[in-house]
Amino acid sequence: MPDLPRFSLEGKVALITGASRGIGEATTVLFAQAGADIALSSRKEADLEKVAQQVRALGRKASVIPAHAGRLDQLQGIVDKTLTDLGRLDILVNNAGTNFFSPAMDMDEHAWDTVVNLDLKGVFFLSQAAARHMKDHGGGAIVNVASVSGLRPQIPTAHYSVAKAGVIMLTSQLGVEWAPHNIRVNCVAPGAIDTRLYDAIFALMPEDQQAAAKHASVQPVPLKRVGQPHEIADALLYFASDASTYTTGQTLTVDGGLIWTTGQG
């Protein structure tokens, strides 16, 4: 890695949710390369352990914390385990999320709660638990992963768009409110990224239509491709590191230019 001290995470501890694959895995590995010890959290321990092995191979410590980031009774435990295993908490990346098609006219309470509890409610309360520690230990950085669907409607996923819009506003709210405690809160809003969640959207379609649908999905994107997880991880590193010490409450879109085109997300 180039010697870029402002982007170094040497001596810091990062807690990353949704760390077992996709953007979370890419971020975990990049942060370890930048010098951080990592607390990895998601629901499946075996998947987390595979990523943790990559962290340890880089000479960094890894704490595996199986938990559901959308269940309030588990959130304080995620922070407590991070502190027990790694001794401190400097960075929180709220990356865990879910989405599925559900037309608004047909959406039931369970579908709404499944998405909103993980994608928004959990983000707030895990941030709160982390911030209470950071406040007493000199501050820290919280980085949320939203979506361009929080800035423009995605059809038919009203629960997801509303939750991600909430994350964007929450970022601004907490960025201002917690600035006196030296806690910076920022957000990355990805467009279409080559992850299992993106693929799952097309898996609902007949197999003979999937390739055409994927091709059509990138046509509104000025760069004419989906993004890669590491391209989101790079943006997250900026917000987590000292390269962004004068930045808080902000949302950065990383979407190939999609936000500037017309139509739906």
The CA distance from 121 to 51, in Å, is: 26
Rg (CA), the chain: 18
The CA distance from 60 to 28, in Å, is: 11
The CA distance from 13 to 62, in Å, is: 10
Angle, CA of 88, 52 and 238, to the nearest 5°: 60
Strand duo 37-42 + 91-94: pairing = unpaired
Q: CA end-to-end span of the chain, whole Å? A: 35
Active-site residues, by number, are 160
The CA distance from 17 to 25, in Å, is: 10
